[in-house]
Amino acid sequence: MNRLKYFLIIIISLIPSISKSQDYCEFILEIQEYQDFVKLKSVGNNDIIDSSSFSITTYLSYFDNIEVEEGYKIGVYYFDNFLDGNPYLYANLENKELNEKVDKESLYELLNSEKFRAKNHIKPKNTEIGFLQYLFFSEMGEQFALKWHANYNEKYIICSREELDEIIIELQTDNKEVTDNEKIDSGYSVDSIGLNRLEKINPEIVIESKNDFYIITWIENRTHSGIYRCVYQVQQKVPYRIDKINEEKLIDTPIDFLY
């Protein structure tokens, strides 16, 4: 009877942790689903974001535990460079608009300047989910509507067992289709040791508070190179600096084709 009571206490104590992990993953899945929905359309010689598939107001509403610096607004500009294309989230004064008529080189420099980057004009609310949203916005916020060569930098978060199992099954299937003279249908090649390692990991996002920092661990699928376990350290006070303090490659998924 005492043993049963002991196990019940352990299970009950784990419930808050499980609930938090589910909340973290729910946010990740929802925002990444919206990112996947974004489409491009051609206007003249350039591609732009199709406004029927993306609204900056809707996008920012997912980040409900982040605050924009007073006096600033966040916008998005799609920079099409023919061989590639990327969205840029920028911050501008509320009474100013982005000058899109300047030459392309000047516009590119402006979009990449530290003072213009949206991630430098936001702050998290003092909650674990707030710092998770802040980290995602900073590291993954522009992972949508990637064009052509920009897909080499494509990445997303894996946070559920179901999603990880689907990826493992896909990679296992690809491996079975390979012979000495064949390439994998999907364009990827993987190793069996990496697959075994992947099967054993827990994909849940972990957030810990330590010495004025949040330590956030998640799994990144960099679709053209590999799957990684990454650990980030985020300051709990201004300037909310982000540092990646550890990275472990779980499996190689190099591509066998070029764009």
Tell me the domain boundaries of the chain. 17-154, 156-252
pLDDT at position 188: 59
254: left (phi over 0), alpha (psi -120 to 50) or beta: beta
- Give one DSSP letter per residue of 63-108, joined into a string: -TTEEEPTTEEEEEEEEE-SSEEEEEEEEEETT----TTS-HHHHH
Q: How far apart are CA 190 and CA 170, in angstroms?
A: 11
Give the pLDDT confidence of 9-43 residue by residue, as tens digits: 433 444 444 457 689 999 999 999 999 999 999 99
pLDDT at position 175: 64
Q: Please list, residue by residue across 198-231, b when 16 or more beta carbons sit within 10 angstroms of its beta carbon and e when fewer do.
A: beebebbbebeeeeebbbbbbbbbbbbbbbbbbb
pLDDT at position 200: 93
pLDDT at position 109: 96
pLDDT at position 102: 92
What pTM, to 2 d.p., does this model score? 0.88
pLDDT at position 253: 86
Q: Report phi then psi at 100, rounded to 5.
A: -85, 0
pLDDT at position 258: 61
Residue 141: CA count within 13 A, CB half-sphere:
26
pLDDT at position 204: 97
- The list of the chain residues with pLDDT below 70 reads 1-19, 21, 174-190, 256-259
